[in-house]
Amino acid sequence: MSTDEKIEPPSINDAKATAAIQGMSIVARTQGQLVRRRFFRHRAAMISLTILILVILLAYTSIGFAGIPGWWIWDYYTPGLVVNRGAPTLSVWPEFLGGNGFHIGLHPFGQDDLGRDYFALTMRGAQISIMIAFVVGIVSTVIGVIVGALAGYYRGWVESALMRFTDVMITIPLLVIAAVLGQKFGGSGPLVLAIVIGLVLWTGLARLVRGEFLSLREKEFVEAARALGAKPNRIIFRHILPNTVGVITVSATLAVASAILLETALSYLGFGVRPPDTSLGLLVSNYQNAFATRPWLFWWPGLFIITIALTVNFIGDGLRDAFDPRQNRVRA
Amino acid sequence: MASFIVRRLFISFFVLLGATFIVYILVSSAGDPRTALLESNDPGKANKIAALTRNLSLDMPVIPRYLNWLKGALGCFIGNCDLGNTSTGAVVTSQLSSAIGATLRLVVFAAVIAIVLGVTVGMITALRQYSGLDYTVTFLSFLFFSLPVFWIAVLMKQFLAIRFNDWLKSPTIPPWATVLIAALVGLSAMALVGGARSRRLAAFAGGALVTVVILVYLNLTQWFAEPGIGVVPMIVMSAVTAVGATALLAGFRGRIVLYATLVTAAVGVICYFALDSVLANPTNLIIFGLLVVALLVSAGIGAAMGGLYRSQAIKACMLTGFGCGALIFTANLLDAVPAYSAEVNGVVIATIGASTPNFQGNYWETWLDTLGHLILPTMAIVLISFAQYTRYTRSSMLEVMNADYIRTARAKGLTERTVVVRHGFRNALIPITTVMAIDFGGLIGGAIITETVFGWSGMGKFFNDALKIPDPNAVMGFFLVTGAAIVVFNMLADITYGFLDPRIRLT
């Protein structure tokens, strides 16, 4: 941006004076308010957030969850009569364009080869995939923050031990260790699988948080807190951690996005969620050979995977922009 | 530097040791390799189970078994590798070496394409920040990030292989496709040019018109049924290569460089005719020799004609020479397509495996066979890495182009090409080199999913099959190679960073 000229920011009094002449008032905003404002003005992130919330609501209310019944008439496990080779009855093509008008029909996403309703199956897959992604995100973030904070704050042998351990974990490719753990724990249900994957996904965040801590612990306000006699616990959690919240939020969001793809990949390879339960990756894996004859069995779960991963990635991008202190202008 | 490397190697060794321990414990506890046998109805299963137990030392506790394995693995340092046997009794090391070969053929090709494409696109989007092109590429790279490989791979098989092969049987481009492709090319031309509206509209019209002409010409001459590069296109494309190389590496201020590259291109075109008999059925050695000769001759032309711009002329001529060589190679490949297509019953783009079983053909047909099998898995890998490289290059380039020394370079009157290529691009590449090195380390492990989808028997599939059993020795063999590659390439990344950016001190 060669044409951009750096203009010296006017002093606050000047700004106030100018604002007074123009009949405006200057509002003081906290850091949190600024971040929130910038995030809410990030168009791609807000659209993504809306879509993601809609998808989550659709997945969890339609067929119900944890024993609570949903509003959809079919469930995902009862086989039924296969109607018209199980073709989808969803129609969105309007009549004046030669279509059949908008109607949902009996099985909007079609049926699988056992006659189970494919909308219900896809929703079940989405429920499991979303649940795994969020649990992985939470578990990995908590561990990453703790490891990074301890290593960065205490230095010395604590840092050496924790960081060497992180190095060891980083040496093992993510998909490899996740597949090995999935082979062992995949049969114990999706929640166990999610926690176990979370246990290996924290390495990147731990390094980031440690870096932040290393620079923040030398700052004057930490020195001041220490001089006032604050205990390490208080310094870590009340003084330093709030300053790293941007890095952590962004990283946690991106961890959710990569966890979605990791889970689908594991289930696809057969090391993730096992039948009779299902996930989006497992659905794609089961029906990839049916693509030529019954493509809908393949399209729907894939579209849901992409939608979820894409929206979470965009939200992460919006958060990164919102937390970036160099971005002092609010994006239109 | 030496002390840094030694210390780093020492630490890396122990890191790798710890990692092997963790993986060994996890794999051994993931399941019993005898499960499949225990559940079978094989009459001799008692004997087989006993043999398997002996073979994998399953009667020993885990830790002594690990130490046993470690003893064999440490032998690799003195050239006596023993990574044990797989559950089927095969030697792990020999299986690994064939898997590594297959994987490298796949991923190196893909990585090179991804780097070249990703870095180029990233650089262009950085130079056209906040343009339509920038937003489109940003959206696409987010989309590629979010694509499950196995899903897009199935789509590719269907639309780029099966449907494309069907289409090749009677290749006519329908009018709507012509219009669509022309519009897309026009739009990208418009985005690339930038500047005033009239200039961009002209770029759109020009790009679209050229595309329509080319497509109609290809259609009328049935090019897709019998592809090839004719004499006139050969001359035009060689000249374009020469001009492009000059624009990239030297600029047009010193006309002499342009003349030198054009002479190189002319020599290339003459070689295209002169080498016809040599290239009828060559060997890899001949092709390599010709490449070396071509580079030497181009360097010679550059040195002889370059004058004041000698070093730039040599580089530009060598690039031109390489480009012309690639054109001649492609022309010969395309000439072989009809014969190859007839031999494989029209399955030009294959969906599975690394080569057509029992295929026998001349040099060019064998190449076509390899490429036809490589193209889909390569595209799948490129799609994902491309997104990553574009983002990295874009942000790195943006940071550099806002630096003070770029303003200085502009202020002292350098041309924009010099500023971008010499001052901007080179510095922007430094952080990307690190990403490349680390990426390459990861690639040795193979693309587990891609290899599974496309039936490519490389490292990824080896790991996948081994873990299904689960076969500890095979998984460990896989991990030892991947882990070592990651550790070594991480170290290389640090060292190259130190070399490229002298501000970084390695201690």
Per-residue three-class SS string for B61-98: CHHHHHHHHHHHHHHHHHCCCCCCECCCCCEHHHHHHH
CA triplet A115, A117, A123: central angle to 5 degrees?
A: 145
Interchain pair A261, B146: CB under 8 A: yes
**pLDDT given at position B6:** 87
List the single residue in A with minimal CA-CA distance to B143: A310
**Nearest-CB residue to A184 (from B26, B158, B410):** B26
**pLDDT given at position B295:** 92
Interchain pair A305, B148: CB under 8 A: yes
**Nearest-CB residue to A310 (from B146, B479, B483):** B146
The answer to whether the CB of B376 falls within 8 A of the CB of B454 is: yes
Q: Which residue has the higher pLDDT, B132 or B264?
A: B264
**pLDDT given at position B411:** 94
d(CA B317, CA B296): 10
- Tokens 């001759």 correspond to B297
**Contacting residues of A for B410, CB less than 8 Å apart:** 2
In the chain, the amino acid numbered B452 is T
d(CA B408, CA B400): 13
**pLDDT given at position A106:** 67
Interface test with B, best of A1, A3, A47, A171 (most B CBs within 10 A): A171
Q: How many CB atoms lie within 10 A of CB B166?
A: 10
pLDDT per residue as tens digits for the range B1-12: 788 888 888 888
Q: Which residue has the higher pLDDT, B427 or B343?
A: B427
**pLDDT given at position A93:** 64
Residues of chain B with pLDDT > 70, as a percent, come to 97
**pLDDT given at position A141:** 92
Cα dist from A264 to A48, A272, A307, B156, B383, whole Å? 20, 8, 13, 19, 18
**pLDDT given at position A255:** 87
Torsion on CA atoms A171, A176, A181, A182, rounded to nearest 10: 160
Q: Residue A113's Cα: distance from chain center in Å? A: 32
Interface test with A, best of B150, B402, B444, B487 (most A CBs within 10 A): B150
**Residue A104 DSSP code:** -
Q: How confident is the model at residue B497 (pLDDT cuts 50, 70, 90)?
A: confident
**Contacting residues of A for B400, CB less than 8 Å apart:** none
B414 and chain A: CB distance < 8 Å anywhere?
no
Nearest CA-CA partner of A58 in A70, A47, A67: A70
d(CA A44, CA A56): 18
Please check the confidence at residue A9 and state whether its pLDDT lies above 70.
no
Q: What is the 3-state secondary structure (H, E, C) of B227-292?
A: CCCCHHHHHHHHHHHHHHHHHHHCCCCCHHHHHHHHHHHHHHHHHHHHCCCCCCCCCHHHHHHHHH
pLDDT per residue as tens digits for the range A277-309: 888 888 888 887 777 777 778 888 888 989 999
Q: What is the pTM of this model?
A: 0.82
**Residue A96 DSSP code:** G
List the single residue in A with minimal CA-CA distance to B484: A171
Tokens of A310: 């894409």
Please check the confidence at residue A224 and state whether its pLDDT lies above 90.
yes
Interchain pair A172, B479: CB under 8 A: yes
| Alpha helix ranges (H) inside A155-171 | 156-171
Q: How confident is the model at residue A53 (pLDDT cuts 50, 70, 90)?
A: very high
Q: Which residue has the higher pLDDT, B308 or A13?
A: B308
Helix (H, G, I), strand (E, B), or coil: what is residue B181? helix
Q: How confident is the model at residue B241 (pLDDT cuts 50, 70, 90)?
A: very high
pLDDT mean over A158-164 = 88
Interchain pair B27, A288: CB under 8 A: no
Please check the confidence at residue A328 and state whether its pLDDT lies above 80.
no
Query: What are φ and ψ of residue A82, in 5° steps?
Result: -80, 120
Tokens of B284: 């890899």
Helix (H, G, I), strand (E, B), or coil: what is residue B152? helix
CA triplet B34, B18, B55: central angle to 5 degrees?
A: 25
**pLDDT given at position B319:** 92
**Nearest-CB residue to B487 (from A171, A270, A284):** A171
List the single residue in A with minimal CA-CA distance to B471: A180
Please check the confidence at residue A130 and state whether its pLDDT lies above 50.
yes
d(CA A81, CA B334): 52
Interchain pair B15, A257: CB under 8 A: no
**pLDDT given at position B333:** 86
Query: What are φ and ψ of residue B63, in 5° steps?
Result: -65, -50
Which among A321-330, B184-193, B294-303 has the top mean pLDDT?
A: B294-303
Q: How confident is the model at residue A2 (pLDDT cuts 50, 70, 90)?
A: very low
* Residues facing A68 on adjacent strands: A65
Lowest mean pLDDT among B161-170, B315-324, B384-393, B440-449: B440-449
Please check the confidence at residue A21 and state whether its pLDDT lies above 80.
no
Residue B5 Cα, gap to closest chain A Cα (Å): 17
Please check the confidence at residue B53 and state whether its pLDDT lies above 70.
yes
Scored b (16 or more CB within 10 A) or e, A91-106 reads eeeeeeeeeeeeeeee
d(CA A243, CA B138): 29
**pLDDT given at position A102:** 64
Residue A300 Cα, gap to closest chain B Cα (Å): 11
Residue A1 Cα, gap to closest chain B Cα (Å): 7
List the single residue in B with minimal CA-CA distance to A283: B151
d(CA B14, CA B482): 15
Lowest mean pLDDT among A167-181, A264-278, B347-361: B347-361
Please check the confidence at residue A71 and state whether its pLDDT lies above 80.
no
pLDDT per residue as tens digits for the range B366-421: 888 888 888 888 888 888 888 888 988 998 898 888 889 999 999 999 888 889 88
**pLDDT given at position A8:** 57
Q: How confident is the model at residue A30 (pLDDT cuts 50, 70, 90)?
A: confident
d(CA A200, CA A172): 10
pLDDT mean over B18-38 = 81
List the single residue in A with minimal CA-CA distance to B445: A173
Residue-averaged pLDDT of chain A: 81
Interface test with A, best of B142, B155, B448 (most A CBs within 10 A): B142
How many beta-carbon pairs below 8 A join chains A and B?
Answer: 124
**pLDDT given at position A332:** 35
Q: What is the 3-state secondary structure (H, E, C) of chain A?
A: CCCCCCCCCCCHHHHHHHHHHCCCCCCCCCHHHHHHHHHHCCHHHHHHHHHHHHHHHHHHHHCCECCECCCCCCCCCCCCCCCHHHCCCCECCCHHHCCCCCECCCCCCCECCCCCEHHHHHHHHHHHHHHHHHHHHHHHHHHHHHHHHHHHHHCHHHHHHHHHHHHHHHHCCHHHHHHHHHHHHHHHCHHHHHHHHHCCCCHHHHHHHHHHHHHHCCCHHHHHHHHCCCCHHHHHHHHHHHHHHHHHHHHHHHHHHHHHHHHHHHHHHCCCCCCCCCCHHHHHHHHHHHCCCCCHHHHHHHHHHHHHHHHHHHHHHHHHHHHCCCCCCCCC
Q: Which of residues 324-383 of B touch A (CB under 8 A)?
A: none
**Contacting residues of A for B413, CB less than 8 Å apart:** none
Q: Residue A256's Cα: distance from chain center in Å? A: 3
Residue A322 Cα, gap to closest chain B Cα (Å): 17
* Residues facing A65 on adjacent strands: A68
**pLDDT given at position B35:** 72
Which helix (DSSP H) or strand (DSSP E) does residue A207 occupy? helix A203-216
pLDDT per residue as tens digits for the range A81-118: 666 666 666 666 666 666 666 666 667 777 777 777 78
Residue B465 Cα, gap to closest chain A Cα (Å): 10
**Nearest-CB residue to A183 (from B31, B158, B445):** B31
Interchain pair B150, A284: CB under 8 A: yes
For the question of an ipTM over 0.90, the answer is no
Query: What are φ and ψ of residue A111, in 5° steps?
Result: -130, 155
Q: What is the 3-state secondary structure (H, E, C) of B280-328?
A: CCCCHHHHHHHHHHHHHHHHHHHHHHCHHHHHHHHHHHHHHHHHHHHHH
Scored b (16 or more CB within 10 A) or e, A54-90 reads ebeebbbebbeeeeeebebebbbeeeeebeeebebbb
Please provide the size of chain A in residues: 332
pLDDT mean over B154-176 = 82
The answer to whether the CB of A173 falls within 8 A of the CB of B486 is: yes
d(CA B157, CA B454): 9
The answer to whether the CB of A301 falls within 8 A of the CB of A119 is: no
List the single residue in B with minimal CA-CA distance to A317: B142
B147 and chain A: CB distance < 8 Å anywhere?
yes
**pLDDT given at position A3:** 45
**pLDDT given at position A257:** 87
The answer to whether the CB of A169 falls within 8 A of the CB of A200 is: yes
Nearest CA-CA partner of B331 in B254, B223, B185, B467: B223
Q: Residue A271's Cα: distance from chain center in Å? A: 21
- Tokens 């190259």 correspond to B496
Q: How confident is the model at residue A1 (pLDDT cuts 50, 70, 90)?
A: very low
Please report, for chain B, how many H helices and E strands are present, in that order: 22, 0
**Nearest-CB residue to A284 (from B23, B151, B162):** B151
Interchain pair A177, B26: CB under 8 A: yes
Interchain pair B445, A292: CB under 8 A: no
pLDDT mean over B196-221 = 86
